[in-house]
Amino acid sequence: QKEVEQNSGPLSVPEGAIASLNCTYSDRVSQSFFWYRQYSGKSPELIMSIYSNGDKEDGRFTAQLNKASQYVSLLIRDSQPSDSATYLCAVRGRAGKSTFGDGTTLTVKP
Amino acid sequence: DAGVIQSPRHEVTEMGQEVTLRCKPISGHDYLFWYRQTMMRGLELLIYFNNNVPIDDSGMPEDRFSAKMPNASFSTLKIQPSEPRDSAVYFCASSLGGINTEAFFGQGTRLTVV
């Protein structure tokens, strides 16, 4: 089992729709969780971080964390073509180790 | 700060040659990570350092790979001898100490072994 798993893509949504991205992790003692966005040919960049159970909103983005279920999600409201990218879930756990999922590629169609 | 700086940006080498990738982390960051990204395997953690000390190198694929961090501002990832299956984008990232801190990535080195 991979340490961080993301729902297989690719994911395609129409412009203005809600995109939902999911991630599960195996290490129960993981403490911090991040969503990165990676455009083709570029390096990953942070878009959201979450540390406590519940929801965290930042503009059109909402991250949700459920530690009991070892589950993290990212919702993108009012999706725009510029949101088309690969989204990477990252988990930071023991001794500062930072592990990424394989990513989900999102395409927002105009 | 200029961010995490990696060099070279692109490297093409012949099979069997030694390859050295370089990374300068953000000043003041305690952690340094080396990742490899391919279509097949995604973004894999190879090794990471805390205060210049290697903490976990379980992701290093083979003895052909080695990494060093001689001081807080410089790290290298060496592949000797290189093979075509090593072709990938190699990212270096750094972060502050503390669990609730994100990693900042360099621009990556695209390695092609022919």
Query: B95 and A51: CB-CB below 8 Å?
Result: no
C-alpha A37/C-alpha A26 separation (Å) is 22
- Contact with chain A for residue B20, Cβ under 8 A: no
Which pLDDT value is given to residue B1?
66
Residue B86: helix, strand or coil by DSSP?
A: helix
- In this predicted structure, the answer to whether residue B83 has a pLDDT above a threshold of 90 is yes
Name the CA dihedral angle for A44, A48, A51, A55, rounded to a multiple of 10 degrees: -150
C-alpha A61/C-alpha A80 separation (Å) is 12
C-alpha A47/C-alpha B91 separation (Å) is 18
Which pLDDT value is given to residue B30?
93
Nearest CA in chain A to B48: A97
Which is it for strands A85-92 and A98-100: parallel, antiparallel or unpaired? antiparallel
Which residues in chain B are contacts of A95 at CB distance < 8 A? 50, 55-56
Give the residue-averaged pLDDT of A12-38.
Answer: 94
- In this predicted structure, the answer to whether residue A8 has a pLDDT above a threshold of 80 is no
Tokens matching residue A75: 């919702």
pLDDT classification of B97: cutoffs 50, 70, 90: confident
